[in-house]
Structure 1
Amino acid sequence: MRPQRLVDILALVALVLLGLSGYLTWSIADPGSGRPVVNFNGYAVSRAPVTLALAAVVAVVVTKLAGTALRRVLAGLLVFMGAAAIGVALQIRPDANELSRLRPELSQAVTDRVVLSTGPAPWLALAGGVALLAAGVIAVLTAHNWRRPTVRYERDPAATPADQWKAIDAGEDPTI
């Protein structure tokens, strides 16, 4: 498999995993005493996973159009975004006070004790961050081997406009 395809696939996997982590349950709060359990999705807890996923997709698309130097810079940015997603997945664990600011029914004034647990979303964010980090590392290491997509459509600089018209009249495409 070509490195470009592998980077594309890993970036797509990261987009799906980070996007899902933003909309699935990140934290579960049980206020007890017969009160309903409150679920917090990743977007309510932290908007970072979804933001990083969208920024990573933009960076991957731009790497397709960039030269080698800019491609390496963008790949380094992918590595940084992957590390940031891993950090968010490992460190964002809101406590009862933070969650009570989002939902007043979890306040200490209303309930004696809130039992917190973690949903599946941080694990998806962690996997997405690892996929994004791997895509960035592969892109940094193989950026010099990538082919620019516009090479196929560039004209021969030695050909004059008259030569190009003659090629078109002969039924040839001068851009190939």
Structure 2
Amino acid sequence: MRPQRIVDLLAVVALALLALSAYLTWSHADPGSGRPTVDFNGYAVTRAPVTLALAAVVAVVVTKLAGTALRRVLAVLVLLMGVAAIGVALQVRPDAGELSRLRPELSQAVTDQVALSTGPAPWFALAGGLALSAAGLIGLLTAHRWRRPTMRYERDPAATPADQWKAIDAGEDPTI
């Protein structure tokens, strides 16, 4: 499998995992005393994973149109976005005070204590961040071997516009 396709596949997998982390439960809050538990999805806790995934996928798409130097710059950005997604997955653990701002029924005035637990979403965000980091690293290391699709449509610099029109009149494609 070509490195360019591996980067594409990893970027799509990262997008799926990071988007899934936005919809799955990031934190459970149990206010106790018979009150219902409150679940917070990833999008309510942090919007960073989805934003990073979308930006990285855009960067991967742009690499298809870029030269080697710009590909390397974009690959470094994708790698950094993957590292940022990993950092968000490992460090974002809202406490009761933060969650009470989102849902007032969890505030200290209403309940004595709130038991917090973590849902599966940070694990999906971590896996997506790892996939994004791998895509950036592979893109960085193999950028010089990628094909440029725009080269097919560039004209011959030695040909004059009159020569190109003559080729078209003769039924030839001057871009090949």
TM-score under structure 2 normalisation?
Answer: 0.97
1:1-176 to structure 2, matched below 5 A, reads: 1-176=1-176
Cα distance in 2 for residues equivalent to 1:164 and 1:62: 30
1:58-106 CA-partner distances (Å, limit 9, x unpaired): 1111111111111111101111110110011011111111111111100
Amino acid at match of 1:107: S
Q: What SS does the aligned partner of 2:64 have?
A: helix
Cα distance in 2 for residues equivalent to 1:23 and 1:52: 15
Shift of 1:146: 1.1
Segment of structure 1 superposing worse, 49-58 or 158-167: 158-167
Cα distance in 2 for residues equivalent to 1:149 and 1:38: 50
Cα distance in 2 for residues equivalent to 1:6 and 1:131: 10
User: Where do 5+ consecutive residues of structure 2 fail to align?
Assistant: none
Amino acid at match of 1:64: K
Segment of structure 1 superposing worse, 161-170 or 69-78: 161-170
Amino acid at match of 2:116: L
Q: What SS does the aligned partner of 1:28 have?
A: strand
Q: What SS does the aligned partner of 2:39 have?
A: strand
Amino acid at match of 2:103: R
Amino acid at match of 1:168: I
Q: What SS does the aligned partner of 1:116 have?
A: strand
Cα distance in 2 for residues equivalent to 1:75 and 1:64: 11
Amino acid at match of 1:121: A
Cα distance in 2 for residues equivalent to 1:47 and 1:59: 19
TM-score under structure 1 normalisation?
Answer: 0.97
Amino acid at match of 1:100: S
Amino acid at match of 2:153: Y
Shift of 1:4: 0.6
Q: Percent identity between the aligned chains?
A: 85
Extract structure 1 runs of 4+ deviating beyond 3 A.
none
When the two structures are aligned, how many residues end up with a matched partner? 176
Segment of structure 1 superposing worse, 18-27 or 132-141: 18-27
Amino acid at match of 1:15: L
